[in-house]
Amino acid sequence: MNELALAIDIGATKVAVGLVTRDGAVISRTDISSQAHSMEELNKSLAAAIGEQLAQAPSSVIGVGIGSAGPINHLKGTINPVNISQWVDFSLVDFVRSVSAITEVHLIGDASALAYAEFCVGAGRGATNLLGVVVSTGIGGGTVLDGKFFPGAMGNAGFIGHTVVIIDGDQCACGARGCVEAYASGTNMARNAKMERFEDVAEAARKGDAAALAVIDKGARVLATGLVNAVATMDLDTIVVGGGVINAADVYWQPLQSHFEKQVECLKFPSRISLKRATLGKDSGLIGAGLVGFISADQREGAM
């Protein structure tokens, strides 16, 4: 079958809209900025991108999957991204249904999209209980449990970026203190290093800058704590980490792996937990959203 799903991947700084096949291939995509002066401006850009993709679809588009920065409410179809103020409690599913004229629209978290994509066609193939994590401007997570995509009651299962690991710690963008994200996101590692971007921190670390290396080490250690807490809570066998920060794996991955292995050893679990780098790159969110779009459409067909 040549059916397609429309996939929408909403991150803190950009939105990707694309067409995905059943085997996880992205055949086209349009990227827009998620930073706008108003909701109307952002909605107009998204509608144009959706229209562009649907107009060039070579075969029927049977469903839509949306992966969005959280928190989300997939029962109501609303999003409330911490880093996109224009879309506070926004009814995104209704908006996409209206613009696309496609009934089957399924909303998940952006990290849930990565988790499902990596589980189906990426680094997580063969896993049973998997956590997928996006480390970028913010930090999100998504889960596959007992071999099945598991969004949780409202779609926020695995939302580890806003679990508190340091009591009365640094202020987080969500309003709480001591969240994983407050120390371990690319944005906050750059802030703690007094630099503009995480890419600058990584470059300084490559040159041996002690302050940059210390910030990366602390960010990795805090993230490792969040990951180990997730292992203890859900008895995971696999964790897949993706997002923009992983582009600096040459200076980031070894500290993360070292801190994770040291901390997870304390659990004394009988089996080894695999910590893996995501393999699907910038398309992972689109692939996962698209594959979940097929789930929604297939479930409807099965009920008919």
Confidence at 304, pLDDT banded by 50, 70, 90? very low
243-247 — which CB contacts under 8 Å span 24+ positions?
243/114, 243/133, 243/134, 243/135, 243/136, 243/139, 243/186, 243/278, 244/135, 244/136, 244/137, 244/186, 244/198, 245/135, 245/136, 245/185, 245/186, 245/189, 245/198, 246/135, 246/277, 246/278, 247/199
Under 8 Å CB-to-CB from 17, ≥6 apart: which residues?
Answer: 6, 7, 8, 9, 29, 30, 31, 32, 46, 49, 50, 52, 53
At 303 the pLDDT is 38
Q: Is the peptide bond before 255 cis (omega within 30 degrees of 0)?
A: no
CB atoms within 10 A of CB 200: 14
Structure tokens at 205: 């670390």
pLDDT value of residue 5 = 97
- Give span(s): CATH 3.30.420.40, the chain: 4-112+282-303, 126-279
Please give the CATH topology (third level) of the domain spanning 126-279.
Nucleotidyltransferase; domain 5 (3.30.420)
pLDDT of residue 227: 98
Across the chain, what does the average pLDDT equal? 93
Fold of 4-112+282-303: Nucleotidyltransferase; domain 5 (3.30.420)
C-alpha span between 70 and 81 (Å, rounded): 5
Residues whose CB falls within 8 Å of the CB of residue 194, separated by 6 or more in sequence, listed in order = none
Judge whether residue 69 has pLDDT over 90: no
Q: What is the pLDDT of residues 73-124, one digit of tens each?
A: 988 999 988 778 899 899 999 999 999 999 999 999 888 999 999 999 999 9
Are 63 and 296 in contact by the 8 Å Cβ rule? The answer is yes
